[in-house]
Amino acid sequence: MVSRAFSYIRFSSKKQHKGESFRRQSEFAFEMPREIDLGLDESLTLNDLGVSAFQGANAKVGALGECLEALRIGRIPKGSILIIEIIDRLGRDKVGEALQLFIPILNTGVWIVTREPRRTYTQNSINDIAALLEPLIYMSRAHEESATKSFRLRDAWAKKKERAAQGSPMTKMAPRWLELTEEGYRLIPERAETVRSIFRMSAEGLGASESSSTCSPIRRNTRPSGIRAVGGIPTCSRSFPTGRCSACSSRECGTRGVRNSIAGSRPGRSLALRQLYDSH
């Protein structure tokens, strides 16, 4: 006997919030329970918006982790249904890891209902090879798609880093005191002068508050999106204004690891800041 209905919504990129993914998943979450005369229980918000499932982040630090804990303590009671659009919303990890999410949920006595394809999985599905085969195929396909995408992105960034080391622009994005032209980077004079002023004041011993206050008249002449990047005092403790670009992925060095520093990848050293930076 089904007692309550909960939904789990996930997509990998925050940009998808502006698209159809959230709307589509939300509509199914509300429509499905009505088919069996239930309402959606919204006392738990189980949404991982902009959270990847490739490495299981949604289960470790996301709302799926909260869902699993709610199942463990009985906050989501036996006999409930968990509504998800498709199996890969739960996980896009290797099949073994994905199964370790799928099977424990069913073992709590909670049903999983998917939209694509429209299926209802119960505890009995675990021992039904035919019923289990289809989600296994979806899990495997989802992981292969994510692994392929991850490989291509890593390869593309590796090529960009190689070109950057040879002096080519790494991306179209540039520090706010530079703009990219067909001939390469070009200084934006008023912003470049703001950066020089910040380094000079920092080298003279002025703190962040004093430097910020002194630079205020200059900042008012630049657009807000550039002010924070150009006038921000933290630039004094970083090397990218002198022409270095730090580039790495979390896989390579972790969120606090040592980054690959590429000299000359951004011609910020043309600002004549290297001497000031080294002395700072």
Mention every residue, 6+ apart, whose C-beta is less than 8 A from residue 87: 98, 102, 114, 135, 138, 139, 142
- pLDDT tens readout for residues 221-230: 444 334 344 4
DSSP class per residue in 246-278 = EE--HHHH-TTS--EEEETSSGGGGGS-HHHHH
The yes-or-no verdict on residue 234 having pLDDT over 50 is: no
> Is residue 211 annotated as a catalytic residue, yes or no?
no
Q: Distance (Å, rounded) from C-alpha 88 to C-alpha 227?
A: 41
- pLDDT tens readout for residues 129-188: 988 999 999 999 988 988 888 888 888 888 888 877 777 777 777 777 888 888 777 888
Question: Sheet containing 119-121: which strands, arranged edge to edge?
Answer: 5-7, 81-84, 111-114, 119-121
Task: Detail the DSSP E strand segments found in the chain.
Answer: 5-7, 9-11, 47-49, 81-84, 111-114, 119-121, 178-181, 184-187, 244-247, 260-263
- pLDDT tens readout for residues 4-24: 999 999 998 877 777 789 999
Any idea what DSSP says for residue 40? Answer: B
Catalytic residue among 12, 80, 125, 211: 12
- pLDDT tens readout for residues 55-104: 888 998 899 999 999 999 999 999 999 999 999 999 899 999 999 999 99
To the nearest 10°, report the CA torsion of 27, 30, 35, 38. 180
Domains and CATH numbers, the chain: 5-148 (3.40.50.1390), 167-279 (no CATH)
The model carries a pTM of: 0.61
Residue-level pLDDT at 233: 41
